[in-house]
Chain A
Amino acid sequence: MEIFDLLMGGFAIALQPLNLGLIVFGCAVGLFIGAMPGLGSVNGVAILLPMTFLVPPTSAIIFLGAIYYGAMYGGAISSIMLGIPGASTAVATTFDGRPMALQGKADFALVAAATASFVGGSISIVLFTLFAPPLADVALAFGPPEEFALMILAFATFIGLGGDDIPKTFFSIFIGLVFSAVGLDIVSGQPRLIFFELPGFFHGVNFLVLAIGIYGIGEILWTMEVSKGNVVVSQANVTIRGIGKSLRALLKTTKTMLMGSFLGYFVGILPAAGATPGSLMAYGIAKATSKDSDSFGKGNVEGVVAPEAANNAASTGSMLPMLTLGIPGSPTTAILLGGMVIWGLEPGPLLFVEHKEFVWGLIASLYAANLFALLINIAFIPMFIWVLKMPFTILAPIIFILCIVGGYAPTNSMHDIWLMFIFGVVGYLMRKLDYPMAPAVLAIVLGPLAERSMRQSLIGSHGDMMTFFERPISGTIMVLGIVLLLLPLVKIVRRREAAT
């Protein structure tokens, strides 16, 4: 049991008073950073990186790891409470978390998010502990065709679920795809779709701008219309008994949690994917496989559980390519990677051999961070609920300001604020006309990844589409995706047969 010994050694490091203190502090800071729209774990880790020179490298990465973890928990909070994704990874949590809050089930949604995060985190850390080196080979086996097949699968889960109006879903996906193409052509490097020659389009349309516009601004407009100013926020009270009841209710979602955890972890270890696509895919699959898929987007707790389990699992997963291959699986791990270079550690295949203390100290600290983040999160839930009890006339301006902050943060550009307002109006109209909006968000996240991997594959195969089917991994995923895509067709045919 070499791994067990190493892990115990890791715990001996992680549970030293300084490191333990940093874990608790990091979780709390992370929770706050994650909950603030526009301040994601990327910003948090980047801002606090210089602080880590005061402590040894292992303590430094433990601290940053705890922030990263805390932020994954925190992201769900503003998604649920305010309808603004607190971080890119929590966009999918908004889909059902916000409707739950509006129905007075905010406490249940928050407990569900925290629990799912804990389960996702725990499963992924165990997987990380046991299978880190072999899984690094899986990451290596994924070339462009495999990545593209995975993207097709992700899109298929969003279309092939039935329930939603399929032409409208397509429409929503295409809107997202068009905006994802704005900016720079990834192969030729030429600018494209620079509307009105505005320089702000050079950096493309950041998907947070779209998500915050549609969900944050659109939400305010929608609420104003529906309520004509008289918003009654149903009062949710939090008691220990209430939390216990929520936990029991969550037992029913075990399957979804497990699915989200494994999927999230797996997507997380693929370089360049990261937690955001992972959580969106988990949402899509939860919806596709649910018996009650129509209730998704209207406050189904499984729609909270799936993405939250997935984004925590993916955040652990994305540490794997960072440590073993030196490639960040997410923007935050990119900054962590920079930190490791500063501390004089060389990420790569030899890190696990040459710096055992560092690696296992980090892994052990993730176990601790996961637990503390859960406890801190649950402890703060009453405070979050209190925020919800504020009158809408006070809450709406706060949400509005947070939207602006969140829209400005990714690119520091006023251009994106105006764009966000436009998306807000579009989001409001889409909601009025009953178009699903989640597919648009999915498309703008996955669009660039899909385009890049498809074009790379086709350059490599000189235009031969068979490259996606000839390779065992990509072929399997591709066929799965196509079957999923055709599923609604089968449903329609069956329904017709049943009618005659």
Chain B
Amino acid sequence: MKSINVGKLALIGAAFGLAFGGAVTAISGDANAQWQPRKPVEFVIMAGQGGGADRLARFIQSIIEKHKMSPKPLVPINKGGGSGAEALSYLKSKPGDPHIIMATLNSLYTTPLRQPGLGVDIATFTPIARMAEDTFQLWVHSDTGIKTVDEYVKAVKKAGARNWKMGGTGKGQEDSLVTAMLEKKFGFKVTYIPYKGGGKVAKELIGKHIDSTVNNPSEQAGFWDAGKSRPLASFTPKGKLKGKFGGIPTFEELGYGSDMVYYMQRSVVAPANIGKDVQKFYVDLFQKVYQSAEWQGYLSKKGLIPGWLTGQALTDYFIAERAAHKKLLKASGEIK
């Protein structure tokens, strides 16, 4: 029964697609026995189709395809169930499997913290690469007339917690943590409404069903350009954001302290114990993606912060971030 599956069909399809492009890549002939994938690589995505993480993973896949960076294709597979719990337990169940990698977001930390029953220790995963850090801004509809954080705080306090609606992604996820930071800093409360994804949140703001959001730049950029939404401040350190997003003041610059900073990491990890040569292949592969003109162009256009990190440094980063998220989750009452 196992031999019949559509995963395979999809792989055949992908292979067919490649062949059709007249681009059957010959495996490089040099004899130094570097490890290379022998079959298509499962590119597990910790989120459902269509969200920011999914789009980014598919973008990475297409850069790899476009430049024939890998002898075998990457096949994106969404395992978004349980805030990524499904993907995490899948990765945990495949130690040593060299044909699986996973695109992560911050649920890499929050999900194992909120669901200790999973028994997932992210420190055991093999670090591959941190590709970028996504940023957050505070957004309002441009019709509101609110132009500064001060005006915003006044408006929220005047409206009161019952009437000020903040839209975001699921509870315990990034947007709600950033919202909790705002509430703590400014001493107000809001009604937090969770939506399925950042794109939907952005649309709800433009449709005036909610009053403010903490969207990523890529989610609001189109509406900002069209003059429908307005960023008030950015949850980044001074001078980190470049391009048009660089013009948005940071909370730090506005004098609200340097603790008003939050990132969404965009990293790639592999299962535990995959071996040094396998790890090297993937690190090299993602370094090529990272250095590609497409990736760098995407980062600056979409307001992401470049931040290449790999090896032990990446694991250390994960562990530090996990500790930081533990604090945030405790502060917001999500965990004890």
Contacts and interface: CB of A to CB of B under 8 A. Distances in A.
Interface of A: 38-39, 42-43, 46-51, 53-54, 139-144, 183-184, 186-191, 199, 202-204, 271-272, 321, 325-328, 331, 334-335, 337-338, 341-342, 346-351, 401, 404-406, 408-409, 411-412, 414, 417, 452, 456, 459-460, 462
A327 B18 CA distance: 29
A235 to B, nearest CB: 31
Contacts of B223: 348-349
Nearest to A43: B10
A350 B222 contact: yes
B7 A408 contact: yes
B207 A142 contact: yes
A183 B173 contact: no
Interface string B2-34: 101111011001100110110000000000000
Contacts of B1: 404, 417
Dominant SS among interface residues on chain B: helix
B62 interface: yes
Contact of B6 (A51, A183, A405, A462): A405
Contacts of B196: 186, 272, 452
Nearest to B76: A46
A328 B202 CA distance: 12
Q: Give the 7 A-B residue pairs with the shortest CB-CB distance, closest first.
A: A348-B222, A334-B50, A203-B81, A143-B209, A349-B226, A140-B207, A409-B6
Contacts of A139: 203, 207
A140 B206 contact: yes
B321 interface: no
B82 interface: yes
Contacts of A349: 222-223, 225-226, 228
Nearest to B85: A202
B132 interface: no
A184 B171 contact: no
B271 to A, nearest CB: 16
11 contacts: A39-B9, A39-B13, A43-B10, A50-B17, A184-B85, A203-B82, A334-B54, A341-B298, A346-B222, A348-B223, A405-B5
Interface stretch (B142-150, B187-195, B280-288): B187-195
Contacts of B171: 187-189
B83 interface: yes
Interface size class of B (residues with CB under 8 A): 35 or more
Contact of B162 (A47, A341, A408, A462): A462
Contact of A54 (B21, B58, B226): B21
Contact of A143 (B115, B204, B222): B204
B58 A49 contact: yes
A75 B275 CA distance: 44
B170 interface: yes
A368 B85 CA distance: 44
Given A349-B226, A412-B77, A38 B6 contact: yes
B95 interface: no
A273 B228 CA distance: 24
Given A47-B14, A140-B206, A351-B222, 18 more contacts: A43-B13, A47-B10, A49-B62, A50-B62, A141-B207, A143-B207, A188-B172, A189-B114, A191-B82, A271-B199, A272-B200, A331-B50, A334-B54, A346-B225, A350-B225, A456-B195, A459-B192, A460-B191
Contact of B83 (A49, A184, A412): A184
Interface of B: 1-2, 4-7, 9-10, 13-14, 17-18, 20-21, 49-50, 54-55, 58-59, 61-62, 65-66, 73, 76-77, 79-83, 85-86, 89, 114-115, 162, 165, 170-173, 191-196, 199-200, 202-204, 206-207, 209-210, 219, 221-223, 225-226, 228, 294, 298
A341 B204 contact: no
A327 B196 CA distance: 12
Nearest to A343: B62
Nearest to A328: B50
Contacts of A189: 83, 114, 170-173
A38 B54 CA distance: 20
B18 to A, nearest CB: 7
B58 A338 contact: yes
B292 to A, nearest CB: 12
Nearest to B227: A349
A189 B77 CA distance: 21
B86 A203 contact: yes
A183 B82 contact: yes
Interface centre among B58, B76, B115, B192 (most CB of A within 10 A): B58
A485 to B, nearest CB: 26
A89 to B, nearest CB: 15
Contacts of B82: 183-184, 191, 202-203
Nearest to A42: B49
Contact of A271 (B81, B203, B210): B203
A480 to B, nearest CB: 21
Given A184-B81, A405-B4, A412-B5, A51 B199 contact: no
B76 A202 contact: no
Contacts of B200: 271-272, 327
Given A42-B49, A191-B115, A199-B86, A335 B191 contact: no
Nearest to B225: A350
A338 B209 contact: no
A348 B196 CA distance: 19
Contact of A328 (B17, B192, B193, B199): B199
B59 A341 contact: yes
B194 A348 contact: no
Nearest to A329: B50
A47 B6 CA distance: 12
B85 A342 contact: no
Contacts of B10: 39, 43, 47, 409
Contact of A335 (B4, B13, B49): B49
B222 A326 contact: yes
Contacts of B81: 183-184, 202-204
A39 B6 contact: yes
B61 to A, nearest CB: 7
A187 B13 CA distance: 37
B55 A460 contact: no
Contact of B55 (A202, A338, A401): A338
A147 to B, nearest CB: 10
A409 B13 CA distance: 13
A203 B221 CA distance: 31
A460 B59 contact: no
Given A327-B199, A338-B54, A349-B223, A186 B207 contact: no
Contact of B226 (A271, A334, A348, A459): A348
Contact of B4 (A49, A404, A452): A404
A139 B81 CA distance: 27
Nearest to B15: A47
A327 B202 CA distance: 9
Contacts of A338: 50, 54-55, 58-59
Contacts of B55: 334, 337-338, 341
Contact of A456 (B2, B50, B194): B194
Contacts of B204: 143
A63 B307 CA distance: 36
Given A183-B81, A347-B222, A348-B221, A53 B9 contact: no
Nearest to B206: A140
Given A186-B170, A337-B50, A199 B89 contact: yes
Nearest to B11: A47
